[in-house]
Amino acid sequence: MKLFTVAAAASVAAAQDTCICQGNCSTWADPHFKAFDGTTDTFKQNSIVYNSGNLTLTAKVYQDDQGKGFTEALYMNGLEWVNASRDCGDLVGPIDDVTFPIAPHGSSAVVSSDARVVISCKEGPKDCKTLGVPCYKYLNADIQKTDVLSTSVEDNWNFMQLEREMGSTGVCMDSEA
Predicted confidence (pLDDT) at residue 111 exceeds the cutoff of 80: yes
Each residue's pLDDT tens digit, 49-82: 999 888 999 999 887 666 677 899 999 999 999 9
Predicted confidence (pLDDT) at residue 167 exceeds the cutoff of 60: yes
- Of 105 and 128, more confident: 128
Predicted confidence (pLDDT) at residue 8 exceeds the cutoff of 50: no
Q: Confidence band (pLDDT; 50, 70, 90) for 161?
A: confident
The reported pLDDT for the residue numbered 7 is 31
Mean pLDDT: which of 9-18, 108-117, 137-146 is highest? Answer: 137-146
CA–CA separation, 85 and 76 (whole Å): 17
The reported pLDDT for the residue numbered 153 is 58
Predicted confidence (pLDDT) at residue 96 exceeds the cutoff of 80: yes
CA–CA separation, 30 and 32 (whole Å): 6
Q: What is the pTM of this model?
A: 0.78
- Of 11 and 171, more confident: 171
The reported pLDDT for the residue numbered 176 is 47
Q: Which of 25-34, 60-69, 82-91, 127-136 has the lowest mean pLDDT?
A: 60-69
Q: Which of 78-82, 127-131, 133-137, 155-159 has the lowest mean pLDDT?
A: 155-159
